Amino acid sequence: MSDIIYTKVDEAPELASASFLPIIQKFAAAAGVSVGTKDISLAGRILAAFPEHLKEAQRHSDDLAELGRLVKTAEANIIKLPNISASVPQLTAAIKELQSQGFALPDYPETPETDAEKAVRAKYDTLKGSAVNPVLREGNSDRRAAKAVKSFAQKNPHRMGDWSADSKTHVSTMSGGDFFSNEVSATLDKDTTAKIVLVNDAGETVLKDGLSYPAGTVVDATFMSASALRSFLADQIEKTKAEGTLFSLHLKATMMKVSDPIIFGHAVKAFLAPVFDKHAKALADLGVNPNSGLGDILARVKDSPEIQADIEACIAARPPMYMVDSDKGITNLHVSSDVIIDASMPALIRAGGKGWGPDGKESDANCVIPDNSYAPVYDETIKFFKENGKLNPATAGTVQNVGLMAQKAEEYGSHPTTFEIPHAGTVRMILDDGTVLHEHQVEAGDIWRSASARKAPIEDWVNLAIDRQKAEGCRAIFWLDAARAHDAELIAYVEPILKAKGVADKFEIMAPREATRASFETITKGENTIAITGNVLRDYLTDLFPILELATSAKMLSIVKLMNGGGLFETGAGGSAPKHVQQLVEENHLRWDSLGEFCALGESLTFLADSKGNEKARVLGEAVVDATQGILDNGRSPSRKVGEPDNRDSHYWFARYWAEALAAQTTDTDLATHFAPIAEALASNEEKILSELVSAQGHSVDLGGYYHTDAKKTAAVMRPSATLNAIIG
């Protein structure tokens, strides 16, 4: 096993790797450090799941499973780039692409009937949504802006949209019948197994069996009423039209891969209700599934002019939609994987509460977030800015995050225990001794789900928070609502630990709404705070605050201290990656910023030095910090426009600053001697290298695929400077 594992992923981060990874491997080798790769891309995971359908030469190792074993050891040192959390449209698109490349994969069965189809569907379903993160995150999250990154953002503040007190932008959420209002929770007092059953007069249907929980596990259960959801959505469509704002739906249909695509489908059907009422049979015959979005519906009715006309008439009569891409007519309801709340809401808030409408103009929006669990965070954020005006990045402090995520803690409602209820009855969660832990009365179409958080990860999370607060000496808030069932169980863990450690006076416990306001008040004064949260809020807040503070969440330092001693270093968010790929293919310009990778690399090398006693690795890691500072201080990050410096230019500058720092340091003379000629070659060939890089831009390129690119074609695109390649090797 290599000393450091650099993950192979998807889209823009993977394209950047084709340019950056050779540099890492070249430099690391000088310190005796090996850097290998493991494939956790969507295409790689698909191929690994179906070896029996592939030729011997096409078969793919199950790298995710291998890394899943590694993260439970002290040997783990993994740099994890953002990977696709696949929605069904993304999954099916990846399958079709692989099939076109000669891989004899089975189709994704939308409605499996035979046992064989059900088995294929079950395999594919394991690849949907957040399939990677629960496997790798055997530790809790420590996420914050690196000091150099925060300092740069303050010295070079990004543009923020102006807020006005009379802005019509607001959050709408359900007042009942949602996951928040129906939640129940309990902490188990002994090891147990459990099953989930649906009971009615006709008998008992087992929804899930063989669940196993150790003593001390917090187990939740809840459901969203389909009828309450439909009423809420219909009401919001009418209210949005009346108030003259954009209808904007915000969900997490990638990570929450079972519940949120269903909610998304309800929104699509509600928006097109007259069409579904009039053409129910025809749409069913065409295989229309509203969960797949408006884009899929339009593709299926392309040969049905009457339905097309009715869809156009319906959309015209509805409120204007918030647009993903107004130039191309991509609406908020086109594809569920475009509805990413942790990216879409911060972008709208940063823009002063404005979203793009179908007319290509910015407008106020009704931000529809059906479940009330975390909608108050965004609601309070909007209220704060209406009252106080936009945040000033030049003077704002920072919100760090300590997130509970180890061992699938509160992992988005636990996909294997989320169900769309087939018929009315009672859902019961029954322990092995016959105890009914939780039960709910449900109707057909309701979405029921359970989640759990184990004792060891919870205790590790609290102790990590104590360590971080001690290191930072700043305000620290547990974002927990005593009136919410799940949070009350966590508070019962948190308070005794804080008291036993003698640090209870260093921490506050607040419900998310109050914690949101307190955090904005703190950073507005230029001070710092730590948000200590569960997994979903970890995901949301580590986009919300960085996008407002830094303009992007991709520049965050994300360290996962694995519970068994290893290290996982995550490199930022990939939500904008698809647009970056589109621009590269059309113009050969990649604006992906690898700053997250730079930060993770430095931490990984330092961790290696500490864990393996490799002092040369420490020198490399310290020089990475200098190189990262050089990128920021000298404005070497990628530009957005073709013909200007892009991702490949930033890698040249990083390699140069890294080599110069290593040549100048006096801790290790062997490394200084080794890197002096490399630094000199990179500097003396600056004009030639930059000319070769910029001259490569301005035309379309062929990567050989989107989900499964051709390695040689990608390398040719991402390493266009023969001069730089000759120096790096």
Summarised one tens digit per residue, pLDDT across range 41-76 is 999 999 999 999 999 999 999 999 999 999 999 999
Which of 3-12, 408-417, 651-660 shows the lowest mean pLDDT across its residues? 408-417
Strand partners, 5: 36, 78
For 132, 329, 624, 697, the CA distances from 78, given in Å and listed in that order, are 13, 40, 17, 32
pLDDT of residue 301: 95
**CA gap 714, 475 in Å, rounded:** 46
The pLDDT value recorded for residue 573 is 63
Residue 384 contacts by C-beta under 8 Å, 6 or more apart in sequence?
516, 517, 520
C-alpha to C-alpha distance for 279 and 655, rounded to whole angstroms: 60
Q: What percent of the chain has pLDDT above 90?
A: 89
SS3 373: coil
Whether residue 412 is predicted with pLDDT greater than 70 in this model: the reply is no
d(CA 240, CA 487): 33
pLDDT tens for 279-323 read 999 999 999 999 999 999 999 999 999 999 999 999 999 999 999
Give the residue carrying structure tokens 């910015």: 362
Is residue 224 within a helix (H) or strand (E), and if so which, with residue range? strand 218-224
Predicted confidence at residue 408, as pLDDT, reads: 86
pLDDT band at 483 (very low <50, low <70, confident <90, very high): very high
Classify the phi-psi angles of 572: left when phi > 0, otherwise alpha if psi is within -120 to 50, otherwise beta.
left
What's the rounded Cα separation, in Å, for the pair 84 and 93? 13
- Using a 10 angstrom Cβ sphere, with 0-12 exposed, 13-18 middle and 19 or more buried, the burial of residue 412 is buried
Q: Which pair of tokens denotes residue 466?
A: 């104590």
Best CA proximity match to 506, nearest among 467, 559, 562 = 467
How confident is the model at residue 338, as a pLDDT?
A: 81
CA dihedral 646, 649, 650, 654 (to 10 degrees): 170
Give me the pLDDT at residue 411, please: 66
Collapsed DSSP state (helix, strand, coil) of residue 352: coil
- pLDDT one-digit tens code per residue, 127-150: 987 789 889 989 999 999 988 889
Rg over CA atoms, the chain:
26
pLDDT at residue 129, as a whole number = 77
Distance CA 354, CA 364 (A): 5
pLDDT above 70: residue 709: yes
Does residue 558 carry a pLDDT above 90? no
pLDDT on residue 311: 97
Residue 479 has pLDDT above 80, yes or no: yes
**For the whole model, what pTM was predicted?**
0.86
pLDDT at 576 over 60: no
The DSSP output letter for 32 is T
To 10 degrees, what angle do helices 647-664 and 615-633 make? 130
The pLDDT score that the predictor gives to residue 255 is 77
Side by side, the strands of the sheet bearing 192-200 are 203-213, 192-200, 425-431, 436-442
Using the structure block, give the residue that is written with the tokens 């929006």: 365
CA atoms within 13 A on the CB side of 415: 23
**How high is the pLDDT of residue 729?**
87
Average pLDDT of the chain, as a whole number: 95
What's the confidence (pLDDT) of residue 104? 97
Query: Distance (Å, rounded) from C-alpha 540 to C-alpha 144?
Result: 14
Does 574 have pLDDT greater than 70?
Answer: no
pLDDT band at 625 (very low <50, low <70, confident <90, very high): very high
Q: Which of 86-100, 575-589, 675-689 has the lowest mean pLDDT?
A: 575-589
C-beta pairs of 623-627 under 8 Å, 24+ apart in sequence: 623/658, 623/661, 623/662, 623/665, 624/598, 624/658, 625/148, 626/657, 626/658, 626/661, 627/598, 627/654, 627/657, 627/658, 627/661
Tens-digit pLDDT profile for residues 193-248: 999 999 998 899 999 999 999 999 999 999 999 999 999 999 999 999 999 999 99
Contact indicator for 28, 620 with CB cutoff of 8 Å: yes
pLDDT value for 224: 98
Half-sphere exposure of 155 (CA within 13 A, CB side): 10
In the chain, the amino acid numbered 115 is D
CB burial class (10 A; 0-12, 13-18, 19+) of residue 280? exposed
Number of DSSP helices (H) and strands (E) in the chain, helices first:
28, 24
pLDDT digits (tens, 9 = 90+) for 331-340: 999 998 887 8
- What is the C-alpha to C-alpha distance for residues 421 and 183, in angstroms, rounded to an integer? 16
Q: Classify residue 132 by burial, with Cβ atoms within 10 Å: 0-12, 13-18, 19+.
A: buried
Label residues 650-683 b or e (16+ Cβ within 10 Å = b): bbbbbbbbbbbbbbebeebeebbebbeebbebbe
Q: What is the mean pLDDT of residues 356-362?
A: 94
Kindly write down the DSSP assignment for every residue of 609-658, as one continuous string.
HHHH--HHHHHHHHHHHHHHHHHHHTT-SPPSSTTS--HHHHHHHHHHHH
**pLDDT at 579 > cutoff 80:** yes
**Considering the chain, what percentage of its residues have pLDDT values greater than 70?**
99
The shares of helix, strand and coil residues in the chain, as percent rounded to the nearest 5, are 50, 20, 35
